[in-house]
Amino acid sequence: MDLTSINWFKYGSPVSFFPLAGRMARGFGIAAALLALAGLWLGLVVAPADAQQGDAYRIIFIHVPAAWMSMFIYLVMAAWCGISLTLNARLSAMMAQALAPTGALFTFIALWTGALWGRPAWGTYWAWDARMTSELILLFLYFGYLALRHAIDDPRRADRASAVLALVGAVNVPIIYFSVRWWNTLHQGASVSLTSAPKMAAIMLIGMLVMTFAAWFYSIAVALTRVRAIILEREKHAAWVGELAEAAQ
Amino acid sequence: MSLVDFFAMGGYGGYVWGAYGLTALLIAAEIVAVLARLRNARSAARTDEVAR
């Protein structure tokens, strides 16, 4: 298909985006489920126990993908907030609104699985080290974003106020990412980076990457489904919304 | 490897299954919640259409 023949701005309007989002959500949802099954099989069955940590290390297959998604979703959310502020585009604000709960969920999962891994690996569920503390702040940023939205009745005003909060909070993401380098922390440094060979066995790395794609596609599917609900909720007085709701699916 | 060994996770079963279990539960809950939200939004929009 010739990509230049598509009018991309068409999908900037909620009415044409709504059915597209439905089709995309289904595709990404199915892909996420298949990847998660493959990743769980690799991580829990195929990959051998770790020489030092035994089977406790298997928490990595959720912990690392969840932690990556918690930061990545925040950056995507902040980018949509930036677009919504500068272009005053309401669909962009709705995308940010749709991403926040899933970002908060992955942040909580990263903290929870980290605690359950920290206990056997380090002897403690929690420490106020730089990596963990900044990840906890990320959770509060997501909560703050959602609470601020909730507190403002006018959706367009809520868009603007929460976008400013999200953009200011984005400074925390590089702090989380580089915390293990900037400070001498309990949390270990990166096992995987773009600049050096991964410091882990190939099968473990593959399992972790498969789970990361599963988490990524899941996030896309859930956010697109949520944004469809948000479109209907926010545009319910527009005539086309009733027609969409009438349509089968 | 027996099924008992699999669930024991070399003595770390509580940690490993605690991590995987709550994650699975939360993901399932989010899917249910988001589908319910879309369903409610649809029926609300439909009611609005009829009122018009």
pLDDT of residue A248: 46
Cα distance between residue A209 and residue A35, in whole Å: 10
Cα distance between residue A181 and residue A238, in whole Å: 51
- How many CB atoms neighbour CB A119 within 10 A? 17
Average pLDDT of the residues of chain A: 91
pLDDT of residue A46: 94
- How many CB atoms neighbour CB A163 within 10 A? 26
Least confident of A87-91, A146-150, A170-174, A181-185: A181-185
Average pLDDT of the residues of chain B: 91
Cβ(B23)–Cβ(A62) under 8 Å?
yes
Residue A139 lies in a domain: yes
Residue A6 lies in a domain: no
Residue A80 lies in a domain: yes
Domain span at residue B18?
11-51
pLDDT of residue B38: 96
pLDDT of residue B1: 66
Its ipTM equals 0.93
> Which of B31, B38, B47, B50 is the best residue to mutate to test the A interface, defined by the most A CB atoms within 10 Å of its own CB?
B38
Judged by a CB distance cut-off of 8 A, whether residue B18 touches chain A is: yes
Q: In terms of C-beta distances under 8 Å and separation of at least 24 residues, what long-range contacts does B2-9 make, across chains too? A: B6/A44, B6/A45, B9/A54, B9/A55, B9/A56, B9/A58
pTM for the structure as a whole:
0.91
Residue of A nearest to B36 (CA): A229
Which residue, A194, A174, A166, A154, is CA-closest to A95? A166
- Tokens representing A27? 């595709």
Averaged pLDDT, A148-167: 96
Residue A11 lies in a domain: no
Which residue, A97, A132, A88, is CA-closest to A114? A132
Least confident of A21-35, A46-60, A134-148: A46-60
Share of chain A above pLDDT 90, in %: 74
How many structural domains compose chain A? 1
Averaged pLDDT, A78-92: 94
Closest CB from B10, B42, B45 relative to A54: B10
Cβ(A165)–Cβ(A148) under 8 Å?
yes
pLDDT above 70: residue A246? no
Residue B15 lies in a domain: yes
CA dihedral B38, B39, B41, B43 (to 10 degrees): 160
Residue A240 lies in a domain: yes
Domain span at residue A221?
19-46+57-246
- The CA distance from B16 to the nearest CA of chain A, in Å, is 6
- Tokens representing A164? 């400013």
Interchain CB distance below 8 Å, A119 and B31: no
SS3 labels along chain A: CCHHHCCHHHHHCHHHHHHHHHHHHHHHHHHHHHHHHHHHHHHHHHCCCECCCEHHHHHHHHHHHHHHHHHHHHHHHHHHHHHHHHHCCHHHHHHHHHHHHHHHHHHHHHHHHHHHHHHHHHCCCCCCCHHHHHHHHHHHHHHHHHHHHHHCCCHHHHHHHHHHHHHHHCCHHHHHHHHHHHCCCCCCCCCCCCCCCCCCCHHHHHHHHHHHHHHHHHHHHHHHHHHHHHHHHHCCCCHHHHHHHHCCC
How many structural domains compose chain B? 1
pLDDT above 80: residue A241? no
Residue A156 lies in a domain: yes
Closest CB from A55, A109, A244 relative to B9: A55
- Tokens representing A241? 């919304």
Q: Residues of A with CB below 8 A from B50's CB?
A: 242
DSSP B9: G
Residue A219 lies in a domain: yes
Residue A73 lies in a domain: yes
